[in-house]
């Protein structure tokens, strides 16, 4: 037997062995593939409900923005007048029981004034204006009206508004959130009972602070320079704190059987 015949024989034997090895492998059944695909594509049956929680509280703290506006032909005089009024107001508030740390400068501006002549189109200097806005925290709301009265009498000629809040807002938010979750859970139980299904495990939980409604009062805005001078007041400024409403929403998604 020559070398060429030996090579051909060995090649033939190798090809046969490979063919037999392939035939020995376990064939994959088409029905198994279809079954797995069907299982993966089957959606989980679920029930989605949304609950709401609301907490209504009476405010126990207030913030007021009091402004002092002054004008003069030279900047030094305008600034001095403004500083004197601002100090006078702060001293009066402290004497009325406001803590000095609760009186904070929120805004301070100095800008030149001009008079414009529409006929000639020329502008001429008309002095300077100084605006100083003070942010005051009032922790005793029973004295809020009296404090406003005191500030106005002391020289405040701009009061931009009053906003109310609650000191322990975090606790109120937790209460509203828990009420929303409990409301959603109760709705899920009721819907499942009516629908004839059984609740499984919770799959998704979403909670959100949907609103924080606080009352806001606009008082004496834009009285202008000296608007409070000589103002006669028989009683303190009437202020109603109203109520603060905190709402939460909760969305729960249950698997159902």
**Mind listing the pLDDT tens digit for each residue in 33-49?**
555 555 556 678 999 99
Domain count, the chain: 2
pLDDT mean over 135-159: 91
Give me the percent of the chain exceeding a pLDDT of 90: 49
pLDDT mean over 110-125: 85
Domain that residue 202 falls in: 46-55+171-210+250-256
For tokens 């402004």, the residue is 67
- Domain shared by 95 and 113, yes or no: yes
Q: Evaluate whether residue 33 is within a structural domain.
A: no
- Domain shared by 146 and 187, yes or no: no
Helix (H, G, I), strand (E, B) or coil at 112: strand
pLDDT value of position 254 = 96
- Residue 150 pLDDT greater than 80, yes or no: yes
Q: Evaluate whether residue 134 is within a structural domain.
A: yes
- Domain shared by 156 and 197, yes or no: no
pLDDT value of position 44 = 81
Residue 105 — pLDDT band, cuts 50, 70, 90? confident
Residue 119 — pLDDT band, cuts 50, 70, 90? confident
pLDDT mean over 84-96: 93
CATH of the domain at 125: 3.30.70.2970
- Domain shared by 136 and 180, yes or no: no
Q: Evaluate whether residue 68 is within a structural domain.
A: yes
Kindly list the strands in the beta sheet with 216-217, ordered across the sheet, starting from the edge strand earlier in the chain. 103-117, 122-138, 61-72, 158-165, 216-217
- Domain shared by 141 and 51, yes or no: no
Mean pLDDT of the chain: 80
- Domain shared by 126 and 84, yes or no: yes
More confident: 125 or 178: 178
For tokens 């004497």, the residue is 95
Pick from 154-163, 183-192, 223-232 the range whose average pLDDT is largest: 183-192
pLDDT value of position 106 = 85
- Domain shared by 223 and 191, yes or no: no
Instruction: Kindly calculate the radius of gyration of the chain based on its CA atoms and give it in whole angstroms.
Output: 39
Residue 114 — pLDDT band, cuts 50, 70, 90? confident
- Residue 111 pLDDT greater than 80, yes or no: yes
Q: Evaluate whether residue 106 is within a structural domain.
A: yes
- Domain shared by 148 and 205, yes or no: no
Q: In whole angstroms, give the CA distance from residue 132 to residue 78.
A: 11
pLDDT value of position 36 = 54
Q: In whole angstroms, give the CA distance from residue 82 to residue 157.
A: 11
Q: List, as one string, the DSSP characters of 206-252.
A: EEEEEEEE--EE--STT--TTTTTT---SSPPP-----EEEEEEEEE
pLDDT mean over 75-83: 93
């Amino acid at each position: 037997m020559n070398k060429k015949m030996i090579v051909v024989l060995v090649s033939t034997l190798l090809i046969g062995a490979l063919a037999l090895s392939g035939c020995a492998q376990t064939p994959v059944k088409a029905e198994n593939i279809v079954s797995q695909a069907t299982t993966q594509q089957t959606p989980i049956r679920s029930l989605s409900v949304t609950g709401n929680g609301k907490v209504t509280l009476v405010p126990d703290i207030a913030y007021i923005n009091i402004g002092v506006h002054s004008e003069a032909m030279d900047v030094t005089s305008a600034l001095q007048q403004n500083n004197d009024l601002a100090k006078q107001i702060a001293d009066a508030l402290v004497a009325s029981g406001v803590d000095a740390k609760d009186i904070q400068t929120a805004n301070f501006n100095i800008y030149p004034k001009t008079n414009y002549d529409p006929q000639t189109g020329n502008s001429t200097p008309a002095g300077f204006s100084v605006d100083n806005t003070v942010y005051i925290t009032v922790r005793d709301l029973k004295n809020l009206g009296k404090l406003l009265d005191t500030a106005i009498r002391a020289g405040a000629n701009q009061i931009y508004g009053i906003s109310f809040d609650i000191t322990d807002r975090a606790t109120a938010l937790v209460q509203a959130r828990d009420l929303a979750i409990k409301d959603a859970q109760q709705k899920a139980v009721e819907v499942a009972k009516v629908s004839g299904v059984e609740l499984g495990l919770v799959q998704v939980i979403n909670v959100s602070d949907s609103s924080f409604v606080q009352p806001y009062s606009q008082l004496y805005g834009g009285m202008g320079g000296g608007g409070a001078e000589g103002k006669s007041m028989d009683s303190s400024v009437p202020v109603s704190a109203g109520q603060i409403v905190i709402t939460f929403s909760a969305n729960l998604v249950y698997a159902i059987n």
